A = this chain, B = another copy of it.
Amino acid sequence: MSWLESSIMAKKGVAKGAANASFAITEESQGKYHYVYGPFVDPVLTVDPGAVVSAETHDAFEGKIKHETDKPSEILNFPYLNPQNGPIYVNGAEKGDALAVYIESIVPRGEQPRGTTCVMPYFGGLVSTDNTAMLHAPLPERVKKVDITLEEGTKWTDKITLPYEPFIGTIGTSPEIEAISSLQPDYYGGNMDLPDVGVGAVVYLPVNTKGALLYLGDCHAAQGDGELCGVAIEHPTVTTVRIDLIKGWTIKWPRLETKDFIMSIGSGRPMEDAARIAYRDLIAWMAADYGFTEMDAYMLLTQAGRMRLGNMVDPKYTMGASIKKSFLV
């Protein structure tokens, strides 16, 4: 955890990135899970900066898809999808601040086969959807249930095992006056489905309302870039995060930090707008905090920037633009 000590979280956080009290959100204490990111519900937990919170997350289907013979279109009840833990009220957080969320661990839970993916009608990256509406009949539905272990990963087939590379699919703060479906990613985070939001990373989120109101859920055991068919390997977990608060760091979009790089995360449509947002924000960041002019940052990213595709299936697409810390000199 040494790199964390020199992280932005450690440098700027109220708690200096250090852990204080620990909390658990169980299925029982959570009670009702949430399907929107908004300010209209009571917090499930109130913490000070430095809190470590373990949450029992559901999978994106709240565990309702149990067998490969299940029909998602009959079982699922839109818009009651992608259940979220929270919100967590962070004392001292106000509009214009940023939350820092260090992802300590993600551990699968629940009975095997605890992993679920599926092809559903009118959802996915290569099919007619409500947003990209076409005349085609949907592809046939299909459910795949898989065993997942922390040690061995996801048993995809007899021949193919996918390493356990878990991340938080959906995490964010509440908008100020809106309540937006947990299926959507946007400026406050939400359903970004970006694999970089994994164990060992710090994600920085804009605070839009008092207490920040942090939500999270939708952990994936593995996911390809773009989450092509719309459903990664969804699974229930115990996810543990450390929460700090950075006063007065006003950011417009989620940002992320690892040992090696910093990243700005944009969500939008068309996809080039997600890419533009991400790179534009990264340039602003390099100019504000690392001594570059915007033109210098623009030209350096042309040679050394990296772009990760999160999702190409949600109401907005998500991309993360990054640069190695070793170039920030």
Give every chain B residue within 8 A of A125 (Cβ-Cβ).
Answer: 275-276, 279
CB of A132 to closest CB in B, whole Å:
5
A44 close to chain B: CB less than 8 A: no
Interface residues of A in 140-170 (CB under 8 A from B): 140, 142, 144, 154, 156, 159-160, 162
Give every chain B residue within 8 A of A178 (Cβ-Cβ).
Answer: 36, 38, 79, 178-181
A271 close to chain B: CB less than 8 A: yes
The main secondary structure of chain A at its interface with chain B is loop
The size class of the interface chain A forms with chain B is: 35 or more
Give every chain B residue within 8 A of A270 (Cβ-Cβ).
Answer: 269-272
A226 close to chain B: CB less than 8 A: yes
11 of the cross-chain contacts (CB-CB < 8 Å) are A40-B179, A125-B275, A128-B128, A130-B187, A134-B134, A135-B283, A156-B300, A180-B180, A228-B298, A230-B302, A276-B312
Give every chain B residue within 8 A of A133 (Cβ-Cβ).
Answer: 126, 266, 273, 276-277, 280-281
A11 close to chain B: CB less than 8 A: no
Known: A125-B279, A126-B276, A273-B131. A299 touches B144 (CB 8 A): yes
CB of A82 to closest CB in B, whole Å:
12
